Amino acid sequence: MTDTPRRYPDPAVRALDPRFNSLRLALASVECLYQGTRWSEGPVWFGDGRYLLWSDIPNNRMLRWDEATGAVSEFRKPSNNANGNTRDREGRLVTCEHLTRRVTRTEYDGSITVLADHYQGKRLNSPNDVIVKSDGSIWFSDPAFGINGFYEGEKQESELTPCVYRIDGHTGELSIVADDFAGPNGLAFSPDESILYIVESRSEPRTIRAFDVSPDGKSIKNGRVLIDAGPGTPDGFCVDIHGNLWCGWGMGTDELDGVRVFTPEGDAIGHIALPERCANLCFGGRHRNRLFMAASHGLYSLFVNTQGVKGG
């Protein structure tokens, strides 16, 4: 996708702390897999088909990148301004939709099941990011970003306070797990699922907060700020098997655009520079050691010396 000469080790992958050195590969560089989106989001890996899906929200479509050929095709259009995506514990696609203000599941036959679109009789705002816990429960953030204008959805009135919700994996019951956020955004569990991390993207500065998950897995407590982003803009993120947080980052500068890597304690240890802001990312590939990065206008990847959490 580019004629720019590249060399090893890739200078775009830099350590901010010696602890990052064990996570990087000397003979791996950032690869641009696609250019042509307006705002890339929600990458999710399908290992059984060797392909990646991701959202192009303003263009109202989802795209598919095939590992075997490198070809990119439209997976779904219209997508109802789809944003975040993940897979449930049966391998089915779960999607947050801005336009319809709902969370859906794509069944094996291609039909769509609505998992959540109302809470106590009121419409959700615009579900943003989504993850699935090992007990089958689905957790998603619901800020008002998609209904604030006509670019990533349609302008509509908010009926509910922005919250983070949980859908019970057995009963389908929808419950609120966090309601004190200024713009809840990306979320992820620690490898043992004892901690839930949530991006607060409308605080100043933006933060990533950590919460202890209750023993029954249905609620959270003991909220605290794990990461003060300063001038950075954390959005979506994912966690590796060591508990490190790989966070979409940027604010239109060479120093910030890309991916910022943090330890479980919240220490910044590494940065992957991209030519544009990264919104979200996931691990994929046969060994879950390939980082896929959905950035503003494109899709990038980098092989790393760690693995994404299984099922995450």
Residues labelled catalytic: 235
- The rounded distance, in Å, linking the Cα atoms of 41 and 55 is 5
Cα separation, 40 vs 35, whole angstroms: 10
b/e burial code for range 17-52 (CB count within 10 A of at least 16 → b): eeebeebbbeebbbbbbbbebebbbbbbbeeeeebb
- Is 173 annotated for ligand binding? no
Q: Is residue 195 within 8 Å of residue 213, measured between CB atoms?
A: yes
Residue 228 marked as a ligand binder:
no
Tell me the C-alpha distance between 154 and 292, whole Å: 29
Strand, coil or helix: 201: coil
Q: 149-161 as b/e, with b when 16 or more CB fall inside 10 Å?
A: eeebbeebebbbe
Residue among 234, 96, 299 at smallest CA distance from 291: 299
Q: Is 179 annotated as a binding residue?
A: no
Please report the beta strands in 160-236, taking only residues with DSSP state E, as ranges in sequence order: 163-167, 174-178, 184-189, 195-200, 207-213, 220-228
Token pair of 300 as six digits: 């990038």
- Residue 235 in marked binding region: yes
For residue 294, what are its two tokens? 């959905």
AA letter at 159: E
Known binding-site residue numbers for substrate: 128
